[in-house]
Amino acid sequence: MKKIIYSGIVSFVIGLLLASCTDKNDYEISTTPVLNDQSVVTGSSDVTATTATLHGTVTGLDKMASSSYVMGFFYGSTQENLSESVTATIENGSFSSTLTELDNNSTLYYQAFVCLQGKVYYKGQVKSLITTDAKVTTKPAATVDYASAVLGGTLTGYPSDVTCGIVISTSADVEAVRSGVIVKSETLSDDFAFVRAGLLPNTQYYYAAYLNLGNGVVYGEVQNFTTAAYNFDLDNDLVDLGLSVKWARFNVGAKKESDLGGLFGFGDLTGCSTSINPADYASTDTYRTASDLAFQAFQGRATLPSAADFEELFSLCKKEWTQQDGVNGYKLTGPNGNSIFLPAAGSRIGSDVTGEGAEGYYLTGTVNPTNSQFAISYQFNTAINTKTTTAVYQAMAVRAVSTAKNVPFDISLLYGKWYLDNCPSGAQHVFSGPFTQWGETDTWATVSNEQPNIEQQIHWEMGTTNGWIGYTYGVDYGYMEFLEDGTVNVHRLADDGTATDETGKYTVDEVNKVIDININVLCANTWVAVKSGKLNILSLTEDGLQIAIRNNDGYAYSLNYYSQRKADADAKFTLLPVDNSKVLVGDFEGKGNLRIEIFNAYGSTNADPGIVPTDLMFSSKMEVTFTLSGITFKDGAAGTYNGGLEFASGDWGVQYWAAADSPTPFDTKIEGNGTYTVYMDTNGATSNGATVFCIDIMQNIWNDIADTSTVGVTIDSIKLY
């Protein structure tokens, strides 16, 4: 059979391809066009007084035979009459033709075209040029740092009614540079230069000087430079405003708070895209992805904000339209008194910047869910501040956010004995169980420092009930002891109590937080593949240690250990088990206060308590550590609230009522999300259980929370002394 395939372009049948098959003819028609309206692009031109070289590009001809198409340029002396044509040959998608014997200072209009099978034409836009003996030379970049460079050029033989400047891109392709962002010089002179700010750190840029003659542009040669790296400082480059995230002190591409920084389209990682074709930008959320500009610019330590982050910023902070270093913008002061400044940087479409000094458009990482050609952004000026939607090609300022911190690594904390947090006593010492599931790319940075991990957003606290990984809850598996001389001793206990001892060596890369150990770490009976060699240390404190073991399937599991120091400290008190799924939170008395109810004989937890009430046997002191999450305050909410215990023993012989004796018994100040500790002293009396056991947070906090349905609470520990 001979199989004949017809490739149809719009309503035309373009090609006939023959391929041997079996012994009869089958006919198939494809109606997918080979080219479209964006396939052919009229490029720039290079001119002298008497010649002009025209440039164009085409995409989509890779699989077509060269005999099936012709390309070139239509040209003429008026835009409406391109009566002449010249052909060209293609090389790597680009083609060019040179016209000679032209008159000096003459204007010519031209248009790139591709003709398929002599029937179907695809054309680029019409552009113009002017022949001239003016010359442009691009100057080498000077004073290059991580966010700016001095760029310019030299001009000869130019008239007085022209403009000059530079075009800039991150692509080395000449046509890409010439279609990059146009930065006009404020002065016209034989030798011009200016500071180009808003650049990204550690990025190679390509640029060329230009002379715009009105009907045509003359370009200098393409040069390049690379900006310096910038070490984003988690301690000094992020500002804690008392909100759910920290905000960067300055915009991406800026060096200080009042700098405007760069302007970036949605998913544009360069700041140099001038396309207005939505297909050239991201069409899905960029937050915490490889297209997250803030993540790429700031070494993975920050991300783009969400629209909710901006709404929280403008609703919970005091707003003041002001000037800083002569730049207009908003000063935003958070509930804790710290502040940031957002300059009114305007926005850019193509190379045209508008609104600079009058309004701010700031990028988020969220696409418009109903139309992917638009993205969610945040707009402000003197009159409004609001979430809005903008075309993905509208370039905007970027202010990063982060929850990251800079936890120091102290290797001396490693020295000593470590036990799996498997807790034969029935209560965990530090972690929720002996194992936690992570991605194999998780490190100290993503776990201890809480930096975002865009590759693997995996975190599962496996708890104590997932013995399938290779352990039995409540079994003592021995200990692992690290000595300062690089020796490690592992005392292993099998499920039946059989003991073995093994000695090995280890070293620690303190910069990357990696331990290199030549024997298997203490790991119960887990089947996870990689138990020795170079292993990531995920966290290390006086009390807890997490070492990741990889399974070579994209996952890693941290071995969660507690220290001998922690064991000794915990031996001084009883750690009471708590079922957080049964702990209630709400305004149960209708007073506007937030109550965390662990057990109340007069409430719903009487039937289903978070603890066994009769277990509350102590004769000195009780400490409760808890974590609040999901709290966002309404505009104007107070920043600090009193928190304390409400407790009565089973026989009412021990009572502690923080609310009744306010303000003295309140031993903690609540400032929203975070971990807090409250306590009570029995003054020598002995508690024989509980009738009421709650934590109250006062001063109308419940009514000050924007959405009480999102409030979460975890009881981290109950310690009885």
| 450 exposure class (CB count in 10 Å sphere: 0-12, 13-18, 19+) | middle
Q: What is the mean pLDDT of residues 665-674?
A: 79
Cross-strand bridge partners of residue 248: 238
Q: Which residues contact 299 (CB under 8 A, 6 or more apart)?
A: 231, 232
Is position 448 within any domain?
yes
* H or E element in which residue 718 lies: strand 712-720
What is the pairing mode between strands 149-156 and 487-493? unpaired
Dihedral-angle region of residue 568 (phi above 0 means left; psi in -120 to 50 means alpha; beta otherwise): alpha
Cα distance between the two ends of the chain:
90
Cα 612-617-621 angle, rounded to 5 deg: 120
For residue 443, the SS3 value is coil
| Number of Cβ atoms within 10 Å of the Cβ of 413 | 16
Is residue 314 scored above 60 in pLDDT? Answer: yes
Report the C-alpha gap between 522 and 686 in whole angstroms. 41
Largest CA distance in the chain: 110
- 428 in the same domain as 383: no
CATH number where 108 lies: 2.60.40.10
Question: Is 89 contained in some domain?
Answer: yes
**Closest among 543, 551, 542 to 523, alpha carbons compared:** 551
Q: Which residue has the tokens 């000026």?
A: 381
Strands 94-99 and 107-116, by their bridges, are: unpaired
- As a whole number, mean pLDDT of residues 563-573 equals 89
Q: Which of 564, 582, 616 is the last residue of a domain?
A: 564
**282 in a structural domain:** yes
Q: Is 255 exposed, middle or buried (0-12, 13-18, 19+ CB in 10 A)?
A: middle
Q: Inform me whether the pLDDT recorded for 425 exceeds 70.
A: no
b/e per residue 99-113 (b: at least 16 CB within 10 A): beebeeeebbbbbbb
Q: What is the pLDDT of residues 216-246, one digit of tens each?
A: 999 999 999 999 999 999 999 999 999 989 9
Give residue-wise pLDDT tens across range 354-397: 999 999 999 999 999 999 999 999 999 999 999 999 999 999 99
* pLDDT tens per residue, range 411-421: 999 999 999 99
Residue 3 has pLDDT above 80, yes or no: no
Do 519 and 663 belong together in one domain? no
The mean pLDDT of 473-492, rounded to a whole number, is 96
Question: What is the spatial distance between Cα 211 and Cα 161, in angstroms, rounded to a whole number?
Answer: 11
Model pLDDT, residue 589 = 87
Q: Note the pLDDT of residue 7.
A: 30
Answer positive or negative: Cα dihedral of 437, 442, 444, 446.
negative
Whether residue 206 is found in the same domain as residue 254: no
Here the tokens at position 544 are 């807890």
Are 668 and 628 within one domain? Answer: yes
Strands 2-9 and 26-30: parallel
Report d(CA 713, CA 330) in Å as an integer. 34
Q: Quick one: pLDDT at residue 561?
A: 97
Domain shared by 606 and 465, yes or no = no
Residue 48 placed within a domain = yes
Backbone angles phi, psi at 154, to 5 degrees: -120, 145
Examine the domain organization and report whether 517 and 612 are in the same domain: no
The answer, yes or no, to whether residue 132 has pLDDT greater than 50, is yes
**33 preceded by a cis bond (ω within 30 of 0):** no
Name the domain boundary from 68, 97, 130. Answer: 130
Handedness of CA 595, 600, 602, 604 (dihedral sign): positive
Q: What pLDDT is recorded for position 32?
A: 56
Look-up: residue for tokens 């206990």? 493
- What is the percentage of the chain residues whose pLDDT exceeds 70? 93
- How large a percentage of the chain has pLDDT more than 90? 76
Q: Which two tokens stand for residue 335?
A: 């509930």
More confident site: 376 or 671:
376
pLDDT in tens, 147-206: 999 999 999 999 989 999 999 999 999 999 999 999 999 999 999 999 999 999 999 999
Going by C-alpha positions, the residue among 240, 250, 148 that lies closest to residue 194 is 148
- In the block, residue with structure tokens 């293609």: 90
Boundaries of domain holding 459: 411-564
**Domain tally for the chain?**
5
- Quote the pLDDT of residue 33: 66
Q: Please tell me whether residue 528 adopts helix, strand or coil conformation.
A: coil
Are 713 and 597 found together in one domain? yes
Residues 510, 514, 515, 521, CA torsion sign: positive
How does DSSP assign 268-315, residue by residue?
Answer: -SSS------GGGS--S--TTSTT-HHHHHTTTS-BPPPHHHHHHHHH
Assigned domain for 14 exists: no
Q: Using one digit for the tens of pLDDT, what is the confidence trace for 85-130? A: 999 988 888 999 999 999 999 999 999 999 998 889 999 999 999 9
636 pLDDT band, cuts 50/70/90, is low
Domain boundary among 530, 564, 598: 564
DSSP-derived 3-state class of residue 567: helix
Same domain for 607 and 523? no
Query: Does residue 140 sit in the same domain as residue 126?
Result: no
Question: Would you state the pLDDT for residue 457?
Answer: 87
Same domain, 510 and 590: no
pLDDT value for 465: 85
pLDDT above 80 (res 283)? yes
**Does residue 30 lie within any of the structural domains?**
no
Is 19 inside a domain boundary? Answer: no
Q: Is residue 390 part of a domain?
A: yes
Residues 347, 438, single domain; the answer is: no
Helix (H, G, I), strand (E, B) or coil at 607: coil
Nearest Cα neighbor of 382 from 353, 358, 417, 352 is 358
Three-state SS for 121-174 is: EEEEEEEEEECCCCEEEECCCECCCCCCEEEEEEEECCCCCCEEEEEEECCCCH
CATH of residue 464: 2.40.128.280
pLDDT value for 225 = 98
Instruction: Examine the pLDDT at 660 and tell me if it is beyond 70.
Output: no
Residues 6+ apart with CB under 8 A from 487: 503, 504, 505, 506
Which has the minimum average pLDDT: 9-18, 130-139, 169-178, 346-355? 9-18
Report CA 325 to chain centroid distance, whole Å: 29
The CA distance from 557 to 539, in Å, is 13
The rounded mean pLDDT for the chain is 90
Model confidence at 20, pLDDT cuts 50, 70, 90, reads very low
The tens digit of pLDDT for each residue in 241-264 reads: 999 899 999 999 999 999 999 999
Q: Are residues 472 and 613 in the same domain?
A: no
Residue 539: the pLDDT is: 98
- Please report which confidence band the pLDDT of residue 702 belongs to, taking 50, 70 and 90 as the band edges: very high
